[in-house]
Amino acid sequence: MKMNDLFNWHGKLGDYIICNYRGQKYIRRKPRIRHPPTSMQKAQQERMTSVGIFYKALKDAGLSPYWTEASKGKLPHGYNLVVKENMPAFQANGEICDFTKLQPTPLLLPLPDNMQLAQEDDGSWLLQWTNTSCLPGAAEDDLLRVFLMRDAESFNLVPVNTGNACRGDGEARFSIGEALQNYPHLYALFCSSTGWKCTNSRYFII
């Protein structure tokens, strides 16, 4: 097309529209047709939104630095690893569908063997485990941390006071107050006392 013809042209030209507006000629792209998201895309969006909220809950609980440490050399950010490890725990509507698949912490240190949780006669809880000396990276001063979650729609992790119990203790006794009686999902883990390393979380329903 000659240059003079282009200045006199108006209408569609490939992916562009040539038009006149107030004596000026403009060229713009044709608007793209946006198809509504499929049911699978909507489900994925719901899951992603929920994992994002869960990641904020991890940050509020002080657990996000462990994910940052675990992602080094693997993924750009700890959030990406949280998504990878926790997406299977969420269903299409964004709620948690399987608390056993939820991972509040990454695997950087080994859990003790034979972790067992039982309620005592006085209503308190006793968590016991077996210390195996050959576990790589494990230290007796690894700190026990316990968190509670309420239900499939609430992603906050509420810490439980375990009295500074350590891996070397072999057990920990703690109480769960009346306000937390409707928080049946318990996660127990150990964190290094010298850096951002932790075990994955052992899940109990109480």
**Confidence at residue 17, expressed as pLDDT on a 0 to 100 scale:** 72
Chain segment 132-157, per-residue pLDDT in tens: 878 899 999 999 999 999 999 999 99
Confidence of residue 10 (pLDDT cuts 50, 70, 90): low
Pairwise CA distance, residues 108 & 97, whole Å? 25
CB 53 within 8 A of CB 155: yes
Pairwise CA distance, residues 170 & 115, whole Å? 9
Confidence of residue 9 (pLDDT cuts 50, 70, 90): low
Extract the tokens encoding 36: 């509504």
Confidence of residue 92 (pLDDT cuts 50, 70, 90): very high
pLDDT-wise least confident of 9-23, 125-139, 144-158, 170-184 = 9-23
Burial label, 59 (beta-carbon count in 10 A; 0-12, 13-18, 19+):
middle
Confidence of residue 22 (pLDDT cuts 50, 70, 90): low
More confident residue, 5 or 11: 11
